[in-house]
Amino acid sequence: MLGERTNLFKMVTGMVRTLIAGNWKMNGLKSSLEEAKKTTQMLQDFPDKADCLICPPSTLVVPMKEMAGDRLHVGAQSCHPEASGAFTGDLSAEILADAGASYVIVGHSERRSEHGERSAYVQEQAHACLRAGITPIICVGESYAQRQRGETKDTVVRILRKSVPTLAESETLVVAYEPLWAIGTGLVPSNEEIATVHGVIRELLIELYQDRGREIRILYGGSMKPGNAAEILAIENVNGGLIGGASLKADDFMAIYATAVA
């Protein structure tokens, strides 16, 4: 019923609901749950006009979900493509869904570089998420060298084509454009560059998923902060943010959320 109302709202307004997503990476002890608790409390002060998500280390998914309430979504940072089996140390999408995760980040550049996860594997992870009823957040981005060679658009399209699921309901898929050189560096592309790349991603999504491609959320990620969030979120085809460092403190994270619902 709620889903039908949301769809009707989108059809009438053409709006895509903004997603403000925090990626805690390998940061977070039990004591960090205080920040998530503060986030849930602060969320109550804002209109419910954008989705809010934290992807903590997997050990915190269960306790965070238990205290998250209905405004804070909880996600994970990677998953194994198989549902279960002899894969020591890995977590399947089914296990993460069972723990309370409703989103999983796949293809983050740190997974691609540190763990050799290539696009074909990322696509398998995305399929696993959909199988488990989880929304994959598929990350793509160019290196600094590729940018310098003028290969940004081609790189993003090539990687994304290979990483997205072959079949997807638009509401169960999110793409994050994260220039590798902008992650954790304080550097950010110009608004024009972001608009160009997000426009290219939108075109590809429409080519792949027809009209449903218009509703797939495209997040920007890379040194998003309270000070630059408003102007980035105002760019066409930017439907939210994937935020690393600035998501660790509730005050910073909520200052970004505030710009999304202003």
Query: Which residue ranges make up the site for ligand PEP (CB under 6 A)?
Result: 23, 178, 183-184, 221-224, 242-246
* DSSP structure string for 34-55: HHHHHHHHHHTTS-S-EEEEEE
Q: How far is the CB of 23 from ligand PEP (least distance, A)?
A: 4
Active site residue 178: yes
Nearer to ligand PEP by Cβ, of 174 and 183: the residue is 183
Q: Is 80 a catalytic residue?
A: no
Strand-pair partners of 174 = 137, 217
Catalytic residue among 94, 178, 198, 215: 178
Shortest Å distance, C-beta 214 to ligand PEP: 24
DSSP one-letter string for 175-233: EEE--GGGTTTS----HHHHHHHHHHHHHHHHHHHGGGGGTSEEEEESS--HHHHHHHH
φ, ψ of residue 53 in degrees (nearest 5) = -140, 140
C-beta of 209 vs 253, nearer to ligand PEP: 253
**Least distance in Å: CB of 195 to ligand PEP?**
18
CB closer to ligand PEP out of 81 and 221: 221
* Closest to ligand PEP by CB, 178 or 215: 178
Q: Distance between CA atoms of 15 and 188, rounded to whole angstroms? A: 26
Give dist(CA 59, CA 229) in Å, integer. Answer: 29
Catalytic residue among 73, 80, 94, 108: 108
In the complex, least distance from residue 176 CB atom to ligand PEP, rounded to whole angstroms: 7
Active-site positions?
108, 178
